[in-house]
Amino acid sequence: MKLLLKWLLSAAALLCVAYVYSGVAVQSFTSALIAAFVIGLFNVVLRPVLVVLTLPVTIVTLGLFLFIINALMFWAAASVLDGFHVNGFGAALLGSLIYSLLGMLIESALGGLFTKK
């Protein structure tokens, strides 16, 4: 149940990013659902590999390179999907930052909602 709710709220967060920032465009809620799924899939499959491969750069930049990796995942999802568009890497960077902040709020809210007693 928590996973389904997180997916729906992540799609809503993606629509919110598109509303707040003009560099990101989402055509519909269905497109947002698919995009949230693909971004999540990329973050589970590709992101750990990229983090390990770029570990020296990440250490030298004190972890700031992880923002670049997040932007790459966001941009890659937009390049694979129809109905989800990002206007270049700068837009992907800012869009992924906003999306990550909203994702942290969602995780915090769901953590409080689904606490084990």
Sign of CA dihedral 107, 30, 35, 20: negative
pLDDT of residue 2: 82
23-56 pLDDT per residue, tens: 999 999 999 999 999 999 999 999 999 999 999 9
pLDDT of residue 117: 58
In this predicted structure, the answer to whether residue 97 has a pLDDT above a threshold of 90 is: yes
pLDDT of residue 116: 65
Dist CA 44 CA 59 (whole Å): 21
Work out the number of other CB atoms within 10 angstroms of the CB of residue 54: 15
CA distances (Å), origin 30, targets 6, 25, 67: 15, 13, 27
pLDDT of residue 1: 81
User: Quick one: which of 59, 39, 27, 44 has its CA closest to 100?
Assistant: 39
Confidence bin at 66 (pLDDT 50/70/90): very high
Which of 90-94, 101-105, 108-112 comes out lowest in average pLDDT? 108-112
In the chain, the number of structural domains is: 1
For residue 25, report the phi and psi dihedrals to the nearest 5 degrees.
-130, 135
CA distances (Å), origin 100, targets 56, 87, 97, 112, 116: 23, 18, 5, 18, 25
Residue ranges making up the domain that contains 65: 2-113
pTM of the entire structure? 0.88
